[in-house]
Structure 1
């Protein structure tokens, strides 16, 4: 047995026997202001690191001699193998030592630990697939990732890119709201996301099915963007395809009746006449509320009888032109300007709230018992439904509404009576607001 002493008392000493060694580390222990020497004996039992403390160096050495002898005897028992088994054992230990050197690991890799790790991995694989094949696939997958990017950082960069691309304020607000919640849930690199993680996140969201679907669409767009930026492997897209998405039931298409349109326009004319142009263009041209809020009077070509929705202001980023009906021209005539915003109100909710407030005020003046029921997107839905009833031309209405013929057919086909369609486009302004008489303009042409 060899004992290798350190040159100074403050350094550890090592007691070895064969290939087995233990260390004694001198330390100073302070108790109630007094300093005492303490000696810690350190050795390994299998994978477990053992530390035992002694106040006397001689006792620590005696215990170290006993332990190193026991450990060496165990090693001797192991080496009482056949020549072939001994060769396998020593070769395995040499391989682990080479691996330790390559990994620059501070501690040796126990043989039993390496065998256990192999066995655990092997149990999970089909017999025809080797562990090396799995590792090769892993390396190929992760070589697709050029830069490790945390999910919160990727979300911020993604939204900044959308801002730079000029996406609309409403779209950006929706992105920030939905993806901020997603970023808060995953403080890990994007490349470490998995399909099961995303499935659990989607399932646990406390919201309606439609909102879950909208959230998932934003997450999918984010991940596709991350794959293009080399922040995530392409395999993550395959895992996205396997996610079970909630089934959102389509909401009913609610439209305003001609009588309700008359009440809306009369109320705004009486209480908020500055809102009349926005309501008229929604009702008779079918623009989305967000598109009307972006519309400028320079794009209302009154003399030509049309409204231009530029690609920059359209939801679908596609330019379209909508004709002004006779009723629309009659309502807009007193308000036409060369330039400036058509709507004096910013924000969809603010516009709707202002119109509903005008309706309530007028109903209160008439002492009406029931409140006016506002129908979300009701003016646009009404335009599409009544316009399709008048023209019977899916493609024409789809172009005017900025939608697909399939969507027009699915949501607006045979939704309203033909008589109501004629009445809608003949809702004309009063000749004198106090008299209630209307201007006798001809009906809209099909």
Structure 2
């Protein structure tokens, strides 16, 4: 049987006992006292003073000797408490498991830094909630070039410009044609760009560029007025809403919140009209159906497209009135 080395008595050891390395004190052992009935080892690491208590001097001495070796090597392990050391080891085990499952190596510092950065943006929500929300929206979005997507949108809407037998087309062919021009110009501005990669900055830049385009006229006036820019905004809005339904954009894209997408107040010119004398001259000069069109347009205020959809039944159906049915009205409301 081996005999244990007897513990030295407090009279045999002079306290505080300083443990040195190359003449430099790196740890200090304090003896028992009335206030502290245990041996205490104190050391400083990373600017923090640390202390640990032991019931026996031998345990305190062995711990102090080990500390001095670690401190002399510049190790930061001595700055950790027991609980912190256990947490660090458990975290490293999780990272190793992650590496084995995915093949991706992530350092403990990188993992914690990324977590803290993400958590600071979630306003109290957990990362799990954020990931679930992401998977319900962004993760299901299909990547498709904006030029191809615009052509798909145009083709998908073309049947609406065709009128069925005895019915009015759902979409004006002229309106669809103008919208095609607007959207193709929009798509050509961002070549090799997926719809899901569009940002508010893209929309701001495009709307701003419309004011820089010049017409072919001699006075070189801007090609797009405030009213025209509003038409572009409407076309882009329709396209983006369709892209959401087709999963080319996430539901939470918020592109329509771009500053440039807010409608402008168009500076409309003063409305002019024919005087009674001028209208009389037009009626006296016109012949046949044209005289009826001028009379109804001038006196009832119908739009040209609405006039062309009328037949005599609409004129005589209600005595003293011209009826514009919902199917013939621009607003699709009877009046």
TM-score normalised by length of structure 1: 0.42
| 2:137 alignment partner, SS class | helix
Measured against aligned partners, the alpha-carbon deviations of 1:69-128 in whole angstroms (never above 9, x if no partner) come to: xxxxxxx976855565554444434433433444454xx3344443443344455454x3
Distance apart, 1:216 and its partner CA = 1.7
Q: Any unmatched runs of 5+ in structure 2?
A: 1-72, 162-170, 212-223
After superposition, residues 302-321 of structure 1 pair within 5 angstroms as: 304=316, 311-318=326-333
Residue in structure 2 matching 1:261, options 255, 263, 279: 279
**Secondary structure at the residue paired with 1:290?**
helix
Query: How many Å separate the matches in 1 of 2:116 and 2:244?
Result: 34
In structure 2, distance between residues paired with 1:214 and 1:303: 33
Deviations 1:143-189 (A, max 9, x none): 6x464444333332332232212311111012112222222345544
In structure 1, what is the equivalent of residue 39 of structure 2? none
When the two chains are superposed, the root-mean-square deviation of aligned CA atoms in Å is 4.1
* Preserved CA contact (<8 Å) 1:223 1:237: no
Q: What is the distance in 2 between the residues matched to 1:123 and 1:316?
A: 49
Secondary structure of the residue aligned to 1:317 is: coil
Contact 2:144/2:195 (CA < 8 Å) preserved in 1? yes
Q: Find the counterpart in structure 2 of residue 96 from structure 1.
A: 95
Q: Name the counterpart of 1:222.
A: 239
Structure 1 range deviating more: 80-89 or 248-257: 80-89
**CA gap 1:92/1:223 in 2 versus in 1, 3 angstroms:** same
Choose 1 or 2 for highest CA Rg. 2
2:139 is aligned with 1:155: no
For residues 96 and 129 of structure 1, the distance between their equivalents in structure 2, rounded to whole angstroms, comes to 23
Match of 1:170 among 168, 171, 174: 174
Offset of 1:315 from its aligned partner? 1.9
Q: When the two structures are aligned, how many residues end up with a matched partner?
A: 235
Residue of structure 2 equivalent to 1:300: 312
Change (3 A) 1:101 1:264: farther
Distance in 1 separating the partners of 2:248 and 2:280: 55
In structure 2, how many angstroms separate the alpha carbons of the residues matched to 1:259 and 1:78? Answer: 102
Distance in 2 separating the partners of 1:278 and 1:119: 72
Alignment of 1:208-357 (within 5 A): 208-236=225-253, 240=257, 244-265=262-283, 278-292=293-307, 294-295=308-309, 299-301=311-313, 304=316, 311-318=326-333
**Distance apart, 1:317 and its partner CA:** 3.2
Residue of structure 2 equivalent to 1:356: none
Equivalence for 2:185: 181
Q: Distance in 1 between matches of 2:96 and 2:206?
A: 43
SS of the aligned residue for 2:234 comes to helix
- 1:109 paired residue number: 106
State the Cα distance separating 1:215 from its structure 2 match.
Answer: 1.8
Q: Say which SS state the counterpart of residue 316 (structure 1) adopts.
A: coil
State whether structure 2 residue 131 is matched by structure 1 residue 135.
yes
Distance change >3 Å, CA 308–CA 117, structure 1 → 2: same
- Deviation string, structure 1 residues 379-400 (Cα, Å, up to 9, x no partner): xxxxxxxxxxxxxxxxxxxx2x
Tell me how far 1:200 sits from its aligned partner. Answer: 4.8
What TM-score results when the alignment is normalised by the length of structure 2? 0.53
The unaligned stretches of length 5 or more in structure 1 are 1-75, 321-398, 400-446
